[in-house]
Structure 1
Amino acid sequence: MSHGDLSVVHGPGSVRKRLGLLAGLFVTMLAMVFVMPGSASAASGTGHITHPELDWMGSTIKAHEGSSASSSSSAGTVTPMATQTLGMDVSGYQGNVNWATAWANGGKFAYVKATESTSYTNPYFTQQYNGSFNVGMIRGSYHFATPDTSGGAAQADYFIAHGGGWSGDGKTLPGALDIEYNPYGATCFGLSQASMVSWIHAFANQYHSREGVYPVIYTTFDWWNTCTGNNSGFATTSPIWIAKYTSTVGTLPAGYGFYTFWQYGDSGTFPGDQDRFNGDLSRLQALAQG
């Protein structure tokens, strides 16, 4: 009898083996059917994460919100509130980045995707994170949130352990939480508005307790309004990074009188997405110093 062949049975012992195997299969199938979000399986961090290399800061925005202006026109027509500092955000999707060219083109800062859920790390993180620093940029890292695969504190810990830490050296920006439309299903990851607010607080508070600064929060007003009820409880702690691919930044989440970062396009002069810091270089350095 070949391995795995249950069609040939020899004697009572083999019958018992066969029945045991079938019973085991039945139990396994029941377990698969009844695993629900938030269970032990989801808490492992793998969940339904199947294409993390395609999940980056803003990867879901155009599909949900569209774009009424190209990145190039946005850059040309915006009226800054103050002196703006140009930068970019990248992920594993960009691969090895030519940082010397990005610097020569005026890029002063870069955010690099480090992690997603508690199972993915960017394979190009070292080249991107260290490379941007080595040409003179102020750099930071970000975490792509999946609130239905594990808790906020667990994802903050994973982020910190895999490149998301902060140091007050004036060249390292606080880590950023990328919280946007779910690329795998329900817009709000199956969480109520109250549960989503609690999840974000858990992430932010854990990051602060370990690193001494609160994370930047990246989102869009539409997602924030839908999934948190336009909660204002983060405005006194976390800088806001708003995504809006038009010529103006638009409405900000409740409590915020100004934006800290604005992702205004998903292509343009720099690798990855195009960003502005709302201030001059000295203010960006101050943020990097905590």
Structure 2
Amino acid sequence: MRLKRFLNGKMAKSVMAVTLAGVITAACVAVGSDSINSNGTDINAQNIQTVTAGADSYVADETSQMTGSDAKGAFTTEDLGISASDYTDDEQIAKAADTIANADAQNIVNTQFELIPVEKLAITADTSSENEVMGGRKEYIDNGGAKQSAAVKFAETPMYVYGVDVSKWQGDINWAAAKASGISFAMIKCAGRSTGDGSLYIDPYFVQNIQAAQSVGIQCGVYFFSQATNIVEAYEEACLTVQLCQQYNITYPVAFDWESASDYRVALVPQNQLTMNMIAATFCNTVASYGYTPMVYACKNDLYNTFEPASLSASYKIWMANYYNDYYYTSNIYMFERPLPATSFPYQMWQFGVTNAIPGFNGYVDMDLGFFYYMPTVAATSFQLTVTQKEISTTFGSPVNLLDGVIAVSSAGIDATPFVTYLISDVNGQLVTEDYAYANVGIYAVTYTLTDVDGTTASEQALLYVYPPTGA
């Protein structure tokens, strides 16, 4: 069912949250396997991690340079609360970038590679041409509040969630309305590199957007609009990104948003796929060394033809842009009418379209489907599955909730009860359905199982007694 059916009339905004929440709930069952993409080619997506290779559907990249004309976007060292150091030696920077590019992506968390201070990065004003303007602009503000508590810890949990990615082009956003409509996360542009002269700039709406979004409980990630043509430029971009992020509790990934077009500077310096992977690795490894989850954003075509996707996706999360025509500058929102785009590599976030159907936005905004969410954790604890009712009694034809009294906690400290599964077997050890048990008097074994995030499993058993009906 497409959202635009609900957007005609006064009920549009009131049903939005129910619609998105209901769609995500329904999507937790198997996604359909057959659909036709915009070119009329069958594609079959098998799961949210790795889907079989298929023909490309319509790809629409975010090809406009996200820059603007407000010099207030140029942060200073004082704004960022960092100390300066001497980075005049270009050879030193090149060596540092090479070390980071070749680092083991799996073993660099909290390494904290040295950063180039922001005042050494030659930040310029955020400028763009008139035909690139898609929204208003405003001086950035820093009200000193709206930051998430650093004491709150989060753990990644697989699930489908809707999100948006924003920059200054969305202007002032009513984040409370967006949250109420069912938006769970936001990828917020912090900065970028010019598609022309390659200068660095900061999005003037970054502070406003991240503070306002976090203040209403929307989880935030960050992206940098990259035009890096070598590992040194990727290192510079990551250094700026980390210093902008350090004031905030970033829960979603920090993304290397690399984009190409015929008139972009990156088109003048084409690189082979392995070199592009090294450029992405430089950015990703730098942000990962500060504890952020790295991610690479690109359109499907670039992921296949510019990067080497198999090794890239083995090291970092992938955020893929790949649109069906129905969701490209329309009032439609992807609601699992079709399978996810087919690829030969895993991806964890899908930018599926541009819509004007989300409350809180004055015009169009990019829409994303995330395949994960970050749940607040309780105090650290051990993996636990406890069945408090070892004997459960009912009568013929009277179902009971077999999860009553079941306590499950993951090793991350998250309530894992919704992820507990159970099987029922008769006295002969034969598996039976729950309906069968309630329709046949007898004693049954109920085996509960919980699988932790690292694959560890735990099992517990209880007995289910189904008695004859009263008076029989």
TM over 0.5: yes
Q: Shift in Å at residue 183 of structure 1? A: 7.0
Which structure has the highest strand share of the two? 2
Question: Given that residues 114 and 159 in structure 1 are in contact (C-alpha distance below 8 angstroms), is that contact kept between their aligned partners in structure 2?
Answer: yes
Q: What is the correspondence of 1:156-167 to structure 2 with a 5 Å cutoff? A: 156-163=238-245, 165=246
Q: CA separation in 1, counterparts of 2:339 and 2:367?
A: 14
1:195 aligns with 2:272: no
8 Å CA contact 1:139–1:173 kept in 2: the answer is yes
In the other structure, the counterpart of 2:321 is 243
CA contact (8 A) 1:205 1:214 kept: no
| Deviation per residue, 1:163-212 (Å, 9 max, x gap) | 3x497x6x622211111224743664513113322211111122222x13
Matching residue of 2:366: 273
The normalised TM-score by structure 2 is 0.39
Distance in 1 separating the partners of 2:341 and 2:304: 13
- Would you say 1:120 and 2:201 are equivalent positions? yes
Post-superposition CA distance 1:214-251 (Å, at most 9, x none): 411111221122212x3422223311111111154423
- Write out aligned runs for 1:30-179 (5 A): 51=128, 54=132, 83-117=159-193, 119-148=200-229, 151-163=233-245, 165=246, 172-179=251-258
Q: Secondary structure at the match of 1:216?
A: strand
Deviations 1:88-124 (A, max 9, x none): 1100111111111101111111111000026211111
Q: Does 1:204 align with 2:284?
A: yes
| Conserved? CA contact 1:166–1:173, under 8 Å | no
Are the aligned partners of 2:123 and 2:202 in contact in 1 as well (CA < 8 Å)?
A: no
Equivalent residue letter for 1:206 = T
- Aligned equivalents of 1:166 and 1:235: distance in 2? 29
Q: Secondary structure at the match of 1:218?
A: strand
Deviation at 1:139, TM superposition (A): 0.8
Contact 1:216 1:241 survives alignment (8 Å)? yes
Cα deviation code 1:21-76 (max 9, x no counterpart): xxxxxxxxxxxxxxxxxxxxxx97679x95299499xxxxxxxxxxxxxxxxxxxx
Cα distance in 2 for partners of 1:122, 1:166 equals 16
Contact 1:92 1:122 in 2 (8 A): yes
Partner SS for 2:239: helix
CA contact (8 A) 1:143 1:177 kept: yes
The 1:280/1:145 distance shift into structure 2, 3 A limit, reads closer
Unpaired segments ≥5 residues, structure 1: 1-42, 57-81
Query: What corresponds to 1:226 in structure 2?
Result: 305
CA distance in structure 2 between the partners assigned to 1:84 and 1:106 by the alignment: 12
Residue of structure 2 equivalent to 1:69: none
Tell me how far apart the structure 2 counterparts of residues 249 and 159 of structure 1 sit (CA, whole Å).
30
Is 1:180 the counterpart of 2:282? The answer is no
Amino acid across the alignment from 2:342: T
Compared with structure 1, are the counterparts of its residues 46 and 196 closer, same or farther at alpha carbon in structure 2 (3 Å cutoff)? farther
Tell me the SS of whatever aligns to 1:234: helix
What TM-score do the two structures reach when normalised by structure 1?
A: 0.62
Amino acid at match of 1:185: Y
**Change beyond 3 A, Cα 1:177–1:112:** same
Post-superposition Cα deviations, 1:122-169, rounded to whole Å, max 9, x if no partner, equal 111111111110011101111000113862111100111223x497x6
Maintained 8 Å contact 2:163/2:367: yes
CA contact (8 A) 2:227 2:265 kept: no
Q: Distance in 2 between matches of 1:160 and 1:84?
A: 27
Matched residue SS, 1:172: coil
Residues 260 and 267 in structure 2, CA contact (< 8 A), matched pair in contact too = yes
Tell me the equivalent position of 2:151: none
Cα separation, 1, equivalents of 2:373 and 2:221: 17
Q: Which has the higher contact order (CA 8 A, sep 6+)?
A: 1
Counterparts of 2:339 and 2:269 in 1: how far apart (Å)? Answer: 31
What is the distance in 1 between the residues matched to 2:247 and 2:295?
12
SS of the residue 1:266 aligns to: strand
1:107 and 1:137 in contact (8 A); partners too: yes
* Greater mean deviation of Cα atoms: 190-199 or 136-145: 190-199
